[in-house]
Each structure stands twice: as structure tokens, then as C-alpha cells.
Structure 1
Amino acid sequence: MPEDRQSLPFEPKGARKVGSSSGASDPAIRQEAIPRYVADRMARRVAVFTGLPTVAGMGVFVGSYLLITKGVADIAPGLTLAGSGFFFLLGLVGLSFGVLSSSWDPQPGSLLGLENLTPNVQRMRQSIKAQKQQSKTD
């Protein structure tokens, strides 16, 4: 009875239901949890918001090495470690931000996606709450 189910927290409004009259007999047509255009948008955002800080974190090592070997500056190893650790941590935050700032609408939204952050966090919380309630009833 797919027609009677409630929509999922992350399901876009107006999504086609599995079991509708046109796709009920075709097993190749299935409903995805995350639509393809949203997954592609998330992947691009994650690549940017995680990739750039990760490259910067590795660049701290290279930059420190070059500055020390050329005699330009005497940089403490702890400072190099702290600088690279900061950028790697920023990349970890960028991973979550890239996923949570993606628009679930067919339109891509703004460049940073800050307007999508609050609704997506609320959807995530609702989904976690629904999963916990479902696991308690099982």
C-alpha cells in the first residue's frame, strides 16, 4: 500500500509515489530516497567545502617546509601541526555543511545555501526522531 504511506521528512513536495498507475508494473522505476539532482548538488558542495580546506591543510605542510628549507622563517612544528589540523577540521565541518546546505527543490538555490540550512537540519531531526519511534515499536 505505497499510496497510503506518509511522506518522508527529506522527500520533496509533490514527489511521485511508487505504485502510481504509470509505474506500478515497471520494476525498473523506483523511488529514490534522495533525488538524483539533489545528490549531484550535495556532491558538488561537499567537493568544494571539503576539498578546499583539505588542500589548504596539506599546503600548510608544504609551505612550512619551503619556508624552513629556504631559511625565510623558523616555524615551530607545533604551529605547522595546529595550522594543518585547523584546515582539516574545517574540511570536516565543510562535509556536513555541504550536505545540509543543499536545496531539495528542483531549483538550485543560492551559492552558499544558507537559506536551506535551517529547514534541512529540522528535516534531519524529524527523520532521526521518526526512526527512533519506529525502532521502539518494532
Structure 2
Amino acid sequence: MGDQRKALPFEPDRGKTKSTSSTGKTQVQASQAIPKSVANRMARRVAVFTGLPTIAGMGVFVGSYVLITRGIADIAPGTTLAASGFCFLLGLGGLSYGVLSASWESKNGTLLGLENIRTNVQRLRSSIRAKKQDPS
């Protein structure tokens, strides 16, 4: 008595169709994919939340160089490295945030997308659990 429910967007499709190509290899075709509008929304968010910290990380090197060469400030190399490293780590976090904060609904959602994170993390966890239970 399996309860019929709608598949989650991240969930692997249990009804995958297999086809044999002309080379004799079996190919698996998934019936679900990320909708183009959602993929574009994710790409924009990733570009902003990863791009800005990455640019800031490179800017730390340039700014530090300018301040040191003009004698404005004496900045330790470790400080420059730590500040740029922090910016790059922030950009790495922005990569995950950009994907997980994107709305899967037809409308865009809010600017920061904080309301979508919990839902998308639950979808991701469900997908991982389903993949672990899938014998193929």
C-alpha cells in the first residue's frame, strides 16, 4: 500500500527509462531535470554570492600592495593572507548559498532567498537518502 506522493525536484527518478544506443551501451535517461528558469536563478545567485567575495579577496592583495608601496601602512603578509583567505572562504560558502537559496517556484522569491534554504536542504537530504536506498 505505497502512498503515492509527488517526487521532489532533487529526488532520483525511480522510473528511469533505459535505452540501448547504436554502440550497444545502455544509457539511463532521467525524466526530470532542473527547470531552466530555476537553473538561471541559481546561476545568478551563485555569480553574486561567489563573485563579490572573490573580487574582494583579490582586492585585498591589490589594496595591501598599494598601501605598502606608498608607505601609507605597514601590513604584515600574514594579515593580507588571512584577509584574502577569509574572502575566498566566504565565496565558497556563497556557492552553496546561491544554489540552496534559489526558489523552485514559478515566481522568483525574495532577494536573499532565506525562506527557501530549509525547503531546499530537506529536498537535498531526501535525495541523498533515496540514492543510498536505490540498489542500482
Which residue does the alignment assign to 1:19? none
User: More strand per residue: 1 or 2?
Assistant: 2
Which residue does the alignment assign to 2:96? 96
Which residue does the alignment assign to 1:8? 7
Cα contact 2:41–2:102 (8 A) shared by 1:
yes
Identity of aligned residues (%): 67
Amino acid at match of 1:112: L
Which residue does the alignment assign to 1:130? 130
Residue ranges of structure 2 left out of the alignment (5+ in a row): 11-29
Residue pairs, 1:1-138, within 5 angstroms: 7-10=6-9, 31-134=31-134, 137-138=135-136
Q: CA deviation at 1:10?
A: 1.5
Cα contact 2:9–2:32 (8 A) shared by 1:
no
Amino acid at match of 1:105: E
For residues 114 and 85 of structure 2, the distance between their equivalents in structure 1, rounded to whole angstroms, comes to: 25
Q: Deviations over 1:48-74 (max 9, x none)?
A: 000000000000000000000000000
For residues 112 and 10 of structure 1, the distance between their equivalents in structure 2, rounded to whole angstroms, comes to: 21
Residue ranges of structure 1 left out of the alignment (5+ in a row): 12-29
Q: CA deviation at 1:9?
A: 1.8
Q: CA deviation at 1:33?
A: 1.1
Amino acid at match of 1:10: P
Amino acid at match of 1:66: V
What is the TM-score with the length of structure 1 in the denominator? 0.78
Amino acid at match of 1:120: N
For residues 9 and 57 of structure 2, the distance between their equivalents in structure 1, rounded to whole angstroms, comes to: 33
User: More helix per residue: 1 or 2?
Assistant: 1
What is the TM-score with the length of structure 2 in the denominator? 0.80
CA-based RMSD of the aligned residues comes to 1.9
Q: 1:31 to 1:106 in 2, by over 3 A?
A: farther
For residues 64 and 133 of structure 1, the distance between their equivalents in structure 2, rounded to whole angstroms, comes to: 52
